[in-house]
């Protein structure tokens, strides 16, 4: 069985794809039964859409791949803690587990600022694991914004 670090490496590759397109480098993969069923990275700038975050793109890809909107039995790997919109989409898709790399102190909804994923007020609770490949994910984000500040 492959471990969380392996799948997070795939999410980091998606983040690199976002970076190559000039997007904020956040990547995501969704895994079921030891294989990737959905993948995505930020496409907000490319598509001029505020909702095309990596998680939303990956959830749509997984739903299309499986033919079902309920993604039971999956794990979502994302390089940065989901925002409130993405956490809501994760709950609605019934994804049971989320693994993320780096916390988002300005808007994370996986326990940092909000805890939508484990909220007792929703109809689905998500198990959360954080800190997987944290240094690599942080370096991507910090590098991206440092570059933007110098433009």
105-114 pLDDT, tens digit each: 999 999 999 9
Residue 28 assigned ligand-binding role:
no
Say if 151 falls within a structural domain.
no
Please give the average per-residue pLDDT across 13-21, as a whole number: 98
Return the percent helix, strand and coil in the chain, to nearest 5.
40, 20, 40
How far is 143 from 3, CA to CA, in rounded Å?
27
| CATH number of the CATH domain containing 131 | 3.40.140.10
Q: What is the pLDDT of residue 148?
A: 85
* pTM across the whole model: 0.96
Say if 95 falls within a structural domain.
yes
Residue 113 assigned ligand-binding role:
no
Q: What is the pLDDT of residue 70?
A: 98
Coil, strand or helix at 70:
coil
Say if 149 falls within a structural domain.
no
pLDDT over 80 at 1, yes or no: no
> Which of 125, 82, 73 is CA-nearest to residue 101?
82
What is the count of structural domains for the chain?
Answer: 1
pLDDT over 50 at 31, yes or no: yes
- Please list the active-site residues: 55
Please give the average per-residue pLDDT across 94-104, as a whole number: 98
Q: Supply the range of the domain harboring residue 61.
A: 4-142
Residue 83 assigned ligand-binding role:
yes
DSSP labels for 94-117?
Answer: T--EEEEEE--TTT-TBTTS-B-T
């Amino acid at each position: 069985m492959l471990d969380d670090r392996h799948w997070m490496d795939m999410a980091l590759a998606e983040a690199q794809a976002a970076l190559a397109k000039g997007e904020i480098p956040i990547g995501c993969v969704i895994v079921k039964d030891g294989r990737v069923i959905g993948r995505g990275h930020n496409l907000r700038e490319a598509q001029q859409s505020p909702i095309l975050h990596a998680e939303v793109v990956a959830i749509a890809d997984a739903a299309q791949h499986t033919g079902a909107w309920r993604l039971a039995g999956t794990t979502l790997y994302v390089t940065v803690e989901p925002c409130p919109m993405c956490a809501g989409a994760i709950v609605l898709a019934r994804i049971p587990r989320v693994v993320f790399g780096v916390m988002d102190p300005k808007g994370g909804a996986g326990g940092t600022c909000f805890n939508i994923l484990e909220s007792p007020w929703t109809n689905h609770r998500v198990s959360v694991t954080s800190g997987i490949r944290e240094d690599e994910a942080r370096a991507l984000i910090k590098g991206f914004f440092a570059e933007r500040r110098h433009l």
